[in-house]
Structure 1
Amino acid sequence: MNKLIRIKIAVLIIVFNCLHVTAQSKSARSFKVLLIGNSFSQNASRYLPQMANEAQINLILGHAEMGGCSLKRHWDSVLVNNADSTRGLAYSGKSLRQLLRSQKWDVVTLQQYSLLSGDWSTYQPYAQNLLQLIKQYQPDAKIMIHQTWAYRADAINWGQTGAGRKAKNMEEMWRKSRASYHKLANELGGLSIIPSGDAFYKVSTHKTWAFVKDSSFIPNKAIYPQLPNDLNSLNVGYSWSKDQKLNFDPNHANEAGCYLAGLVWYRFVLGQKPTRVKFKPQSVTDNFAEFLRQTAARIDATLK
C-alpha cells in the first residue's frame, strides 16, 4: 500500500514539474520586432506590448524611426554611414546597420512616409536596397510591409499621388497608397502586408461607427478651451497647446487609432486573435473598443 502511495506521489511530482516547466516556457516566450518607420509605426506599436503581455509574449521592439521619414531618407542614412561610420546615426545615436546587428529579429517591418505613400515613384529603389540590407544581417527574419492609413476625412492636405499631384480626399489617398503598398510587397518577393490602412478605412466609412465632422465647430472662431465633438475619431484632430493655440492633426492616430493599429499588428505580426484582447485605453469606450477588435479580426490583407 505504501509503495502504491509513493508511486502516485512520484507521478504527481513529475506532472507538476512538467506543468511548471510549460508555464515557465510560456511566460518566457520572446518575440523581437524591428520597426523601420516613423511616427506612424510608433502609433501602431504604442499599445502592442500590453496586448502581447496578455498572450504571455515578451515583446522586444526595436525602433529605427524618425518623424516624417521616407524610405529614401532611411536609405540615405545608410549611405551616409557607409561613407563615414561617425555619421548616419539617425536612430537615437545608432545606425540602421547597428540596429539590424543588435538582435536576432523575428520580424522587420518597412513602410513609406504617409505623405508619399500614394506615389509609387517614391518607393524604389530605396525599398529594394533596404530589403537587401535587412537580408544581409537578418536572413531568417520575416520582412513585412506596414500599410499606413489615409488621413481623417476632414483633412486639408492630402498625400501625394504623383509628381505635382495630391489625393482629393480620404478614399483616393487610401486607394492610391494601398495600391502602392501591395505593388511593393509583390515586387519584393511576395511580402506579407500589415493592413492598418484598410482597418482605418473600414472604421472611417462604417455607417454606424464612422467619425462625423462637427459642423458646429468653427476653428477660426473657437475660444479656448472649446473643442469639437470628435466621437469615434481615429486621429488626433483638434487640440490646444499650452499657450492656447489651436492645433489640428488629422494624420496621426489618437488613442483609439493606436489601439486599432495595435490590434492589427497583434493579429498579423504576432499571430494572435484581436477578439481575445482585454486591454483597452481608458479613453476608448467599451462598445467602440469591441468594434475595433472585431474590425481587426475580420480585415483582409489581400488585394481585391
Structure 2
Amino acid sequence: MRQFFKWFLSVVLVVTGLVSNAQTGSISSKKTLRVLLIGNSFSQNASTFLPQIAKDDGNNIVFGHAELPGCPLQRHWQLAELNSAEPENPKGKPYEGDKSLRMLLSDSEWDVITMQQYSMLSGNLNTYKPYAQQLYALIRQYQPKARILLHQTWAYRSDSKSFGEVDNGKLAQTEKEMYEKSRAAYHLMARELNLNIIPTGDAFWLIGSNPKTSFKKDESFDPLKAVYPALPHEQNSLHAGYSWSNGKLNFDSHHANDAGKYLGGLVWYAVLFNKPVTQMKFKPQSVSDEFAAQLKAAATAAVKGGKQ
C-alpha cells in the first residue's frame, strides 16, 4: 500500500507539473537569445546558419551587428573613441543603422556579446592588447549582465597562398602554425579577461587535421590553365575555395563555405545554448549527410575541450 501511495503521489506531481508548465508556456515556449556580434566577415560566416539551427531546436536568435569587413580589435576600439570624442561625426557610427558601438550597446539589453580578432592578425598576440581589454571594459559599462565570449576564428585553408601574422612582420608558414598561434593568443586573452571561448577554430582544425575528413588539394587542377567552367575537386573543404565570376577564376582560402558556416553555427549553438548538436536535423543542402555527421562530431569535440 505504501509503495502504491508513493507511485500515485509521483504521478500526481508529474501531471501537476506538466499542467503548470503548459499554463505558463515553459514547455512549448521558444527561448529567444539576443546576440551582439562585434567582428567582421568571419563572425558573419560563423553565424550564418545559427538562426536555422536554433529554430530546429525550438529556439530563436536575434542579432545585432557591429561588424565591418576585415576589422581588427584596434579599429573597433578606435571607432568607439572617435564617437566618444566627436558624437556627431558619422565616421564613428559605421555599424548597421548608422550606429556607433556605444549606441548598439545602450539601445538594447543583450544576452550575449561576442568579439574576435581579424583573422590576418589572430596569431599575433601583440595586436590584441590593449584593445580587447578596452572593448571588454566598454561592454561591461553598458551591459553588466551580458555574457561576453571570445570567438576563436579559424586558420586559412592548407593551400592558401599566405597565412596570418604570428608576430610583428612575420607570417605563419602553414595552416597548422596559423591555427596554433591564433589558438594560443585567443586562450591567453580569455584567461586574462576571464572569458569563455567559442572554439570555431578548434572545430575547423579537428576536421582539417584528420586524414579521414581533411581537405586534399586537387593536384590535377592548374588554375593558370583553367577554362570556364572547370573547377577543382574540393571535397571536405570548409573554405570557399575556387569559383567563377564574370569569366574570372577566383580563389578564397580564407572565408567559410556552406560546410564551414554550418560547422561554425553548430559550435556557436552548442556554446550559446549549452545543448548537444549531434541530433540536429537542419543542414545546408550542399552538405552531405555523411559530412554533416562528421561536422557535428567535430563541433561537439571542440566545445567539450574548448572551455577555459
The normalised TM-score by structure 1 is 0.91
2:295 to 281, 292, 295: 292
Distance in 2, Cα, partners of 1:14 & 1:126? 53
- Matched with 1:151 is 156
Corresponding position: 1:264 with 2:262: no
Distance change >3 Å, CA 145–CA 14, structure 1 → 2: closer
- Matched with 1:230 is 234
3-state DSSP of counterpart to 2:137: helix
Listed as ranges, the matches of 1:1-304 within 5 Å are 18=20, 20-23=22-25, 26-87=28-89, 88-92=92-96, 93-188=98-193, 190-241=194-245, 243-299=246-302, 300-302=305-307
Amino acid at match of 1:66: L
1:201 Cα shift? 0.6
Aligned Cα root-mean-square deviation (Å): 1.8
Gaps spanning 5+ residues in structure 1: where?
1-12
1:232 Cα shift? 0.6
Q: Deviations over 1:13-42 (max 9, x none)?
A: 988863533546642421111110000000
Q: Deviations over 1:156-213 (max 9, x none)?
A: 111001111000000000000000000111111x210110001001101111111100
Q: Deviations over 1:86-140 (max 9, x none)?
A: 2311102111011111221111111000000000110011111100000001001
Task: Please tell me whether the aligned partners of residues 21 and 27 of structure 2 are also in contact (alpha carbons under 8 angstroms).
Answer: no
Q: Give percent identity, aligned residues only.
A: 51
Distance change >3 Å, CA 237–CA 17, structure 1 → 2: same
Distance change >3 Å, CA 211–CA 16, structure 1 → 2: closer
3-state DSSP of counterpart to 1:296: helix
Distance change >3 Å, CA 216–CA 25, structure 1 → 2: same
Amino acid at match of 1:254: N
3-state DSSP of counterpart to 2:54: helix
3-state DSSP of counterpart to 2:274: coil
Task: Please tell me whether the aligned partners of residues 22 and 28 of structure 2 are also in contact (alpha carbons under 8 angstroms).
Answer: no
Distance change >3 Å, CA 14–CA 177, structure 1 → 2: closer
Distance in 2, Cα, partners of 1:177 & 1:29? 33
3-state DSSP of counterpart to 2:162: coil
- Matched with 1:8 is none
3-state DSSP of counterpart to 1:274: coil
Task: Please tell me whether the aligned partners of residues 50 and 269 of structure 2 are also in contact (alpha carbons under 8 angstroms).
Answer: yes
Amino acid at match of 1:120: L
Distance in 1, Cα, partners of 2:207 & 2:74? 31
Distance in 2, Cα, partners of 1:218 & 1:138? 52
Task: Please tell me whether the aligned partners of residues 27 and 58 of structure 1 are also in contact (alpha carbons under 8 angstroms).
Answer: no
Comparing 293-302 with 18-27, which one deviates more in the overlay? 18-27
Distance in 1, Cα, partners of 2:46 & 2:307? 20
3-state DSSP of counterpart to 1:221: coil
3-state DSSP of counterpart to 2:66: strand
1:253 Cα shift? 0.3
Distance in 2, Cα, partners of 1:107 & 1:15? 30
